[in-house]
Amino acid sequence: MKPNIEAFFDPVTGTVSYVVYDQPGGRCAIIDPVLDYDPKASRTSTGGADKLIAFIMDKRLTTEWILETHAHADHISSAAYLRRKLGGKTAIGKEIPEVQQTFKKIFNLGPEFVPDGKNFDHLLADGEVLTIGKLTAKVIFTPGHTPADLSYQCEDAVFVGDTLFMPDLGTARADFPGGDARRLFRSIRKLLDLPPETRLFMCHDYLPPSRGPRWETTVAEQRVSNIHVHDGVSEDEFVALRTARDRTLAMPTLLLPSVQVNIRAGQMPPLEENGVSYLKIPLNLI
Site residues for Fe ion per CB under 5 A:
72, 162
CB of 252 to Fe ion, least distance (A): 8
Choice between 33 and 133, CB closer to Fe ion: 33
Choice between 15 and 153, CB closer to Fe ion: 15
CB of 14 to Fe ion, least distance (A): 11
Secondary structure E strands in the chain: 4-10, 15-21, 27-31, 34-38, 43-45, 62-67, 76-77, 89-93, 122-124, 129-132, 135-141, 150-154, 157-159, 199-201, 216-218
d(CA 70, CA 68): 5
CB of 77 to Fe ion, least distance (A): 11
SS3 119: coil
Choice between 72 and 228, CB closer to Fe ion: 72
Choice between 165 and 238, CB closer to Fe ion: 165
Neighbours of 55 (CB within 10 A): 16
CA atoms within 13 A on the CB side of 256: 16
d(CA 236, CA 51): 43
Choice between 150 and 229, CB closer to Fe ion: 150
Choice between 144 and 269, CB closer to Fe ion: 144
- Among candidate residues 173, 148, 155, 189, the one with its CA nearest the CA of residue 241: 173
d(CA 47, CA 149): 27
Chain length of the chain = 286
Choice between 72 and 242, CB closer to Fe ion: 72
CB of 74 to Fe ion, least distance (A): 6
CB of 35 to Fe ion, least distance (A): 15
Q: Which residue is nearest to Fe ion (CB)?
A: 162
CB of 270 to Fe ion, least distance (A): 25
CB of 59 to Fe ion, least distance (A): 28
DSSP assigned state of 171? B
Bridge partners of 93, per DSSP, are: 124
d(CA 245, CA 256): 21
